């Protein structure tokens, strides 16, 4: 049994709705993410937003990051629950956008420069080198993004956001286009990022139910409701409560297999 | 005899400029600017919106975003546009020298040789124009790869 307690609200959405030229895309999206605490570990939060393609996941992703204003409702963050502003939530897009004219070191340094603070150049170099070593990127620091594989670019993109100091990071389809081994490595990386800081919160937007649920402590299912326009969160699974979070080899657990089947039914 | 459009253009530029050199340069610039501006606008138009969103999530202000994405980020492509426009300018130079003959040049040589049916000179001049054009293009290509090493990683060999 993984003992845990839930504390203050870190991110919440109240009646978020979005319309596109008269067509309702999202309707009454409500959720809260609370700070999870566990003894002896910086336990961050990992939430998965599961939904079929074209259901409005990417639009909700943009709303959560503050890049798009919803037509109704608000997304609030941090302990003071202020309305989310662009730049307060990091994003890792599906195609891992980086500055192609900058080396990996320079790309990471842009993230660190954006964090503010009073670090000296030597201190910044040390931080980047430590981070690169921790995430197996040391030998690539002098390379350009075009010289890296998709998985390596994804790692750089995630670490760039971490160095920016963003506690909330949204990942759009992080397992898409990766082979089985790379998916496992990405999952390990995400778990590592989530435990770097108590308030680190990763929101994974994906249609890969199994991999997303395997590392999450909460799963939201975004789907339409019968007779109502637009998509909303139709089901919320608290994996901590179900004792399915933070468990090694979770895929072999029968209850987890049943959970996946149940999620599929709600899609 | 009615004036042609080219004559009108030539007369306008002659009145606006003070020397044959200025006239030649002005005509060249006049001919190049539409190609250059439309190509530059196309480069900017093709920037992915997610690059600007990345800058937002990295908390860059508008000036930093402009610098990083449009100015420094597209400098290699601007250089490529300049390289292509140089090729257009190189072709245009013979016509411009034909309009402004006081300064001489390859265009003047070509027109005079053509006028006196010196086809060997015409052919020789065309070969020189061709070789110099290829050479300049090659040198600009080398310069682009030297200045922007990441370029050769993103273009098809």
Each residue's pLDDT tens digit, A69-81: 999 999 999 889 9
Q: What is the CATH number of the domain that holds A26?
A: 3.40.50.300
Confidence of residue B153 (pLDDT cuts 50, 70, 90): low
pLDDT for res A115 = 78
Residue B77 lies in a domain: yes
Chain A CB contacts of B75 below 8 Å: 101
The answer to whether position B8 is within a domain reads no
Q: What is the mean pLDDT of chain B?
A: 85
Domains of chain B: total: 1
Last residue of a domain, which of A112, A137, A165?
A: A165
| A85 touches B: beta carbon within 8 Å | no
Concatenated DSSP letters for A18-54? Answer: EEETTEEEEEEEEEEEEEEEBTTB---EEEEEEE-TT
For B:95-154, CB contacts with A below 8 A are 148-150, 153-154
The span from the CA of B157 to the CA of B153, in Å, is: 9
Greater model confidence, B101 or A78: A78
CA–CA distance, A9 with A198 (Å, rounded to integer): 13
Q: Find out whether A112 and A74 touch, Cβ atoms under 8 Å.
A: no
**In 3-state terms, what secondary structure has residue A9?**
strand
CB interface of A with B, residues 120-179, below 8 Å: 144, 146-147, 160-161, 164, 166
One domain for residues A180 and A261: yes
The per-residue pLDDT string of chain A (267 residues; one tens digit each, 9 = 90 and over) reads 578 888 899 999 999 999 988 899 999 999 999 999 988 888 999 999 999 888 888 899 899 999 999 999 999 998 899 999 998 999 998 888 999 999 999 999 998 888 777 788 898 899 999 988 888 889 999 999 999 988 889 889 988 988 888 889 999 988 887 788 888 888 888 888 888 888 899 999 988 899 999 999 999 999 998 888 899 999 999 999 998 998 888 888 899 999 999 999 988
State whether A134 and A174 are in the same domain.
no
Q: Are residues A209 and A256 in the same domain?
A: yes
Are residues A152 and A20 part of one domain?
A: no
Kindly state the average pLDDT of the residues B100-112: 81
Distance from CA of B73 to the nearest CA of A (A): 6
Question: Which residue from A245, A229, A235 is spatially nearest to A267, judged by alpha carbons?
Answer: A235
pLDDT in tens, A222-252: 999 888 889 999 999 999 999 899 888 888 8
Q: How big is the A-B interface in CB pairs under 8 Å?
A: 55
Do residue A160 and residue A188 come from a single domain?
no
Q: Please give, rounded to a whole number of angstroms, the shortest distance from the CA of B82 to a CA of chain A.
A: 18
Q: Are residues A138 and A172 in the same domain?
A: no
- B50 with A97: Cβ contact below 8 A: yes
* Strand, helix or coil for residue A91: strand
- Shared domain for A172 and A69, answered yes or no, is yes
Last residue within a domain, chosen from A137, A165, A193: A165
The gap from C-alpha A71 to its chain's centroid, in whole angstroms, comes to 23
Count how many residues are written for chain A.
267
A161, A7 contact by CB (below 8 A): no
Cβ B58–A100 below 8 Å, yes or no? no
**ipTM surpassing 0.90:** no
The mean per-residue pLDDT over the stretch B114-137 comes to: 90
**CB atoms A89 and B57 under 8 Å:** yes
Q: What is the CA radius of gyration of chain A?
A: 18
Task: Using an 8 Å CB-CB cutoff, list chain A residues near B60.
Answer: 114
The label of the residue with tokens 């603070």 reads A117
- Note whether B76 contacts A101, CB cutoff 8 Å: yes
Choose the closest CB to A144 out of B53, B60, B153: B153
Q: Does A110 touch chain B (CB under 8 A)?
A: yes
Q: Is residue B41 part of a domain?
A: yes
Task: Assess whether A156 and A81 both reside in one domain.
Answer: no
Smallest CA-to-CA distance from A62 within A22, A20, A34, A116 is with A20
Strand partners, A11: A33, A77
Domain that holds residue B105: 19-154
Domain limit, last residue, from A116, A137, A165: A165
Say if CB B85 and CB B36 are below 8 A apart.
yes
In this complex, do A160 and B149 lie within 8 Å of one another by their Cβ atoms? Answer: no
Same domain? A171 vs A160? no
The alpha-helical segments, DSSP class H, found in B46-74 are 49-57, 62-65
| Chain B residues with CB-CB distance to A147 below 8 A | 153
Pairs from A247-253 (Cβ < 8 Å, separation ≥ 24): A247/A2, A250/A214, A251/A210, A251/A214
- In this structure, are A159 and A212 located in the same domain? no
**Do A81 and A178 reside in the same domain of the chain?**
yes
Name the nearest CA neighbour of A217 among A241, A193, A253: A241
Residues from chain B contacting residue A167 (CB–CB below 8 Å): none
Using alpha carbons, select from A265, A267, A259, A260 the residue that is nearest to residue A222.
Answer: A267
Burial A214-229 (b: 16+ CB within 10 A, else e): bbbbbbbbbbbeeeee
Number of domains in chain A: 2
Are residues A110 and A29 located together in one domain of the fold? Answer: no
Distance from CA of A106 to the nearest CA of B (A): 12
Query: What domain range includes position A256?
Result: 5-88+166-266
The Cα of A177 is separated from the nearest Cα of chain B by a number of Å equal to 19
- Residue A249's CB: how many other CB atoms inside 10 A? 8
Tokens at residue A84, please?
A: 């989310």
Q: Where are the alpha helices (DSSP H) in chain A?
A: 57-64, 104-114, 121-134, 150-164, 180-194, 209-214, 254-266
Helix runs in A49-120, H state only: 57-64, 104-114
Pairing of strands A45-51, A201-206: parallel
Q: Do B148 and A101 touch (CB under 8 A)?
A: yes
> Given a cut of 50, is residue B157 above it in pLDDT?
no
């Amino acid at each position: 049994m993984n003992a845990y307690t839930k504390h203050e609200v870190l991110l919440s959405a109240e009646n978020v709705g979005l319309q596109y030229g008269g067509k309702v895309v999202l309707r009454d999206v409500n959720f809260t993410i609370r700070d999870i605490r566990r003894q002896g570990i910086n336990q961050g939060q990992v939430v998965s937003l599961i939904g079929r393609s074209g259901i409005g996941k990417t639009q909700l992703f943009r709303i959560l990051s503050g890049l798009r204003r919803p037509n109704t409702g608000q997304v609030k963050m941090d302990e003071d629950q202020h309305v989310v502003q662009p730049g307060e939530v990091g994003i890792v897009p599906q195609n891992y956008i980086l500055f192609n004219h900058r080396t990996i070191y320079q790309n990471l340094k842009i993230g660190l420069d954006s964090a503010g603070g009073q670090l000296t150049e030597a201190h910044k170099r040390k931080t980047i080198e430590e981070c690169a070593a921790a995430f197996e990127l040391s030998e690539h620091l002098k390379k350009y993004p075009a010289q890296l594989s998709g998985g390596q670019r994804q790692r750089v993109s995630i670490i760039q956001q971490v160095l920016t100091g963003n506690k909330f990071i949204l990942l759009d389809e992080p397992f898409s286009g990766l082979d089985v081994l790379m998916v496992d490595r990405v999952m390990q990386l995400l778990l590592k990022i989530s435990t770097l800081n108590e308030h680190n919160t990763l929101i994974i937007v994906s249609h890969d139910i199994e991999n997303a649920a395997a590392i999450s402590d909460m799963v939201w299912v975004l789907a339409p409701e019968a007779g109502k326009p637009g998509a909303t969160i139709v089901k919320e699974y608290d994996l901590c409560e179900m004792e399915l979070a933070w468990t090694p080899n979770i895929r072999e657990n029968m209850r987890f297999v049943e959970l996946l089947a149940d999620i599929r039914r709600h899609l | 005899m009615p004036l042609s459009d080219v004559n009108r253009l030539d007369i306008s530029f002659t009145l606006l400029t003070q020397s044959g050199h200025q006239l030649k340069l002005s005509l060249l610039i006049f001919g190049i600017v539409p190609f250059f501006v439309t190509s530059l606008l196309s480069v900017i138009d093709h920037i992915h919106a997610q690059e600007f969103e990345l800058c937002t999530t990295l908390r860059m202000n508008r000036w930093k975003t402009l610098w990083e994405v449009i100015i420094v980020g597209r400098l290699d492509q601007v250089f490529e546009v300049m390289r292509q426009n140089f090729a257009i300018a190189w072709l245009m130079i013979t016509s411009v020298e034909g309009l402004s003959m006081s300064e001489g040049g390859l265009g003047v040589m070509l027109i005079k040789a053509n006028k006196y049916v010196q086809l060997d000179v015409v052919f020789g001049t065309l070969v020189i124009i061709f070789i110099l054009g290829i050479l300049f293009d090659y040198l600009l290509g080398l310069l682009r790869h030297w200045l922007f090493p990441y370029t050769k990683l993103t273009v098809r060999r």
